[in-house]
Amino acid sequence: MDTLQQAVSVLGSTGSIGQSTLDVIARHPDRYRVHALAAHRSVDALLSQCRQFRPRFAVMVDQQAAEELAGHLADSPEIEVLHGEAALSEIVTDDEVDVVMAAIVGAAGLRSTLAAAEAGKRLLLANKESLVMSGQLLMNAVHASGATLLPIDSEHNAIFQCLPVAGGDASGHGDSKAKVGVSKVLLTASGGPFRTWTARDIENARPDQACAHPNWSMGRKISVDSATLMNKGLEFAEACWLFDLPASAVDVVVHPQSIIHSMVQYCDGSVLAQMGNPDMRTPIAYGLAWPERIDAGVAHLDLVAVSRLDFEAPDEGRFPCLRLARESVAAGGTTMASCNAANEVAVEAFLAENIRFGDIPRVVESTLERVTAVEPHTLGVVEAADREARMVAAEVIGEFNRTNKGQALV
């Protein structure tokens, strides 16, 4: 085996980010080999990825799905099939692993992401929820182990590219930003599919409308988050943790074309922007190869075809989730973990057509009113806050549905 090749474990390989990651890896067989692939329970998708990438390990968190996969792979004994959440941490901490792509959706990705950070790997962080829930713990783990943290979220990847080069990886920029003249980071937001809709139409938007993002093709959960602007709220928290910035140093700007992926403003009046076609393979390739650059399979940006770039302020009246996330960051402690958990429950209920689109921020707000924040010193405390908020959010949804009884929900 070529020792120059880096061994990569891909968590959430069957999802949108996972597939884009494998697409980039497949373009560079000289640089990368797949050590492990992991997903929840999509057997067919993981099977075809196993056939193409021949990993050492394949993990299905769901046991029945793992048994089914193992049956299909009986002719490939060199691929070991594992199951259960603990297997996710095993395949990222393995000594052979150089790079971990953390692309599981939601709080389910927390433990394995943290395990990769503790093991000192090159951590490509797509699972923003882990940082949002337990930013301090994750950053402490990165610093203690010497892990290399590279943001994959397009906005944070853009900010990372526009920050001064002196400080190493994302976490390494540390507290030197004021010294190097950074005054603000400007997070761009597309505004989502309902940017121009009236509050009344937004209230009753349906799942397929919420998932039809104008510029990006993504998993359903993050697509709904983009439609409520909770995604920008999560990214606001993510930026504060990643780049060690106070909330006052992060502004959100709506930019409907999604060509500028975010910006850094300096004290001399300069604003540096990273631009490109909206394709997650660009930040993924940057994370894989940093500090080098490799082909990502992304078409060059045709600025004449784009022709114009527009900007506007976010409207927190029609999109209260952004306000709720900002307030949760300001409240500190486990508040943002609770906000994230309540949002996950609300989004799931919306996708199952149990609540209206307009109820998502109401569920989050009512949940936050009923939970008490504590200091998130340990993973156990964060997970307890997550569980409590999920229970409360489910109660709130039950109450909404009893109140709404007799009214059509769809």
Minimal distance in Å, beta carbon 49 to ligand NAD? 10
Structure tokens at 289: 């190869």
Number of residues binding to ligand NAD, judged by CB under 6 A: 26
Distance CA 397, CA 125 (A): 31
Which option in Mg ion, ligand NAD, none does residue 61 bind, with CB closer than 5 to 8 A by kind? ligand NAD
Instruction: Note whether 150 binds ligand NAD by CB under 6 A.
Output: no
- CB nearer to Mg ion: give 169 or 238: 238
Burial 49-70, CB ≥16 within 10 A → b, else e: bbeebebbbbbbbbeebbebbb
Interacting positions 135-154 with Mg ion (CB under 5 A) = 153-154
Task: Return the residue of 36, 61, 363, 392 that touches ligand NAD, per CB under 6 A.
Answer: 61
Q: Residue 264's closest CA among 349, 170, 395?
A: 170
- CB nearer to Mg ion: give 118 or 225: 225
Write the burial class of residue 257 (CB in 10 Å: 0-12 exposed, 13-18 middle, 19+ buried).
middle
Pattern 273-302, ligand NAD, x by CB under 6 A: -------x----------------------
Task: Give the number of other CB atoms < 10 A from CB of residue 108.
Answer: 18
Instruction: Note whether 229 binds ligand NAD by CB under 6 A.
Output: no
SS3 label, residue 239: helix
Minimal distance in Å, beta carbon 108 to ligand NAD? 3
Which option in ligand NAD, Mg ion, none does residue 171 bind, with CB closer than 5 to 8 A by kind? none
Cα–Cα distances (Å) from 286 to 69, 88, 190, in that order, read 32, 24, 22
Minimal distance in Å, beta carbon 16 to Mg ion? 12
- CB nearer to Mg ion: give 89 or 157: 157
Which option in Mg ion, ligand NAD, none does residue 266 bind, with CB closer than 5 to 8 A by kind? none
Which option in ligand NAD, Mg ion, none does residue 229 bind, with CB closer than 5 to 8 A by kind? none
Instruction: Note whether 202 binds ligand NAD by CB under 6 A.
Output: no
Task: Give the number of other CB atoms < 10 A from CB of residue 377.
Answer: 12
Write the burial class of residue 183 (CB in 10 Å: 0-12 exposed, 13-18 middle, 19+ buried).
middle
DSSP 8-state symbol, 259: -
Distance CA 96, CA 334 (A): 35
Number of residues binding to Mg ion, judged by CB under 5 A: 3
Distance CA 54, CA 35 (A): 8
Structure tokens at 81: 């099939």
Pattern 22-41, ligand NAD, x by CB under 6 A: -----------------xx-
| Measured distance between the N- and C-terminal CA atoms of the chain, rounded to whole angstroms | 56
In this chain, which stretch among 121-129, 157-165, 261-269, 302-310 interacts with ligand NAD, using CB under 6 A? 121-129
Instruction: Note whether 105 binds ligand NAD by CB under 6 A.
Output: yes
Minimal distance in Å, beta carbon 179 to ligand NAD? 30
Chain residues that interact with ligand NAD, rule: CB under 6 A: 12-18, 39-40, 42, 61, 103-105, 108, 126-129, 153, 216, 218-219, 221-222, 280
